[in-house]
Amino acid sequence: MIYTLSYQQYKYERGLSAAEQRAADARAGETAAAVRQLRASLGRAFRLRPGSRSRETADTMTAQVRFLSSAR
């Protein structure tokens, strides 16, 4: 719901009634639960599967690098 700026300022200065506060708390709880559920489902969707390699494809080769020590 969208309220005018003057009404929002009035509500800010006056405060919420007990019923309005309960309704706002219920909406906040529902939103938090939805966000938790979304994060869990996205985590499952993007989790690496066993046997899958991260950031490598079949045609890439890893290079072996050897560092020569300068202290001889």
Cβ-contact 54, 48 below 8 angstroms: yes
Give the pLDDT band (50/70/90) at residue 27: very high
- Across the range 9-29, mean pLDDT stands at 91
Q: Is 19 helix (H, G, I), strand (E, B) or coil?
A: helix
pLDDT tens, 40-61? 999 888 887 776 665 555 556 6
- Per domain, the residue ranges of the chain are 17-46
Region of residue 15 (phi > 0: left; psi between -120 and 50: alpha; otherwise: beta): left
Tokens of 2: 């969208």
